A = this chain, B = another copy of it.
Amino acid sequence: MAAAPLASLLLLLLLAAASPLSAAGEAHPGYSSGEGTCTVAGDAAASPLEERGPGRIIDITHAYVPDLPAFAPGAVTGPVVRLKHSMADGSEYNLSELKMECHTGTHLDAPGHINQGHFAAGRDVDTLDLDVLNGPALLVDVPRNTNITAEAMEFLKIPKGVRRVLFRTLNTDRKLMWKKEGDFSYVGFTEDGAQWLVDNTDIKLVGVDYLSVAAYDHLISAHVVFFKKPDIIPVEGLKLDDVPAGIYNLHCLPLRLVGAEGSPVRCILIK
């Protein structure tokens, strides 16, 4: 399992300088060999107990606030936390309770979300592969005039061997995750974009910047393509504002919710 991606990655490093990527440039400047190396060099050079120093971790998770949009036209999330025991009311401790749909805010989908076969087979969030959820990732800029179509995917020229890609789109520019009400004019994967990704890349973690990996007109069909095999993890509602495109170490850690087909997730990038 490890041999093929590693071989691809070696190839990738050789390809990076010569490929049209260098010319396209804007989509993922991290690929230019100098900048890409610098981006994570500090992390790689650390000795066992050496501290990273502050400011090298970038939080790409939205905070759970009542004004988060919900995935229904005009819907809002509302409070997800309430204080169950309160020191102000005489308790010896404060104790909060959490209640939310598992696809609220920054979250991920398990294969059972839109595939009943996978759901029945127990492919819940607790079965998701930590080796996919943690590792090198590429943050790319999708052209702002399009959904993530086959054509857009082809344009991005993401090399074979890259397993985690965060797709920044017009949704980030429009600050849709900061709008109180759900907005279904967001962009996302079309069915043919999803199929192109499955057929032509090694991507297993697909990060997007609104609540669904799929454009609204392809809501079920694009999910169906991603979940044909249970090996792709969509991570949705990421906060990608003000993060330079490039290469990072990604850590995306969902809760171990046995039986659930989705989970809130905390995602960070480390330079």
Contacts and interface: CB of A to CB of B under 8 A. Distances in A.
Interface of A: 1-2, 5-6, 9, 12-13, 30, 36-37, 39-41, 44-57, 59, 61-65, 80-81, 83-84, 87-88, 92-103, 105-106, 112-114, 116, 119, 126, 130-131, 134-136, 138, 161-163, 220, 223, 247, 251, 253-264, 266-268, 270
A155 B182 CA distance: 56
A136 to B, nearest CB: 5
Contacts of A161: 49
Contact of A97 (B5, B93, B99): B99
Nearest to A12: B49
Contact of A48 (B83, B94, B105, B247): B247
Contacts of A97: 99-102
Nearest to A66: B258
15 contacts: A6-B53, A12-B49, A37-B47, A37-B48, A48-B136, A48-B247, A64-B255, A81-B260, A87-B119, A93-B223, A97-B101, A98-B102, A134-B270, A251-B251, A251-B253
Nearest to A36: B48
B9 A50 contact: yes
B116 A87 contact: yes
Q: How many copies, total?
A: 2
B131 A57 contact: yes
A106 B119 CA distance: 25
Given A59-B130, A102-B81, A256-B266, A51 B261 contact: no
A116 B136 contact: no
| Residue of A49, A52, A83 with most chain B CB atoms under a 10 A cut-off | A49
Contacts of A257: 64, 80-81, 96, 98
Nearest to A161: B49
B260 A96 contact: yes
Nearest to A49: B136
A134 B58 CA distance: 12
A253 B256 contact: no
Contact of A163 (B51, B134, B259): B51
A31 to B, nearest CB: 9
Contacts of A9: 47, 49-51
B47 A13 contact: yes
Contact of A130 (B6, B57, B253, B264): B57
| Residue of A50, A56, A61, A220 with most chain B CB atoms under a 10 A cut-off | A50
Given A251-B251, A266-B266, A53 B2 contact: yes
A88 to B, nearest CB: 7
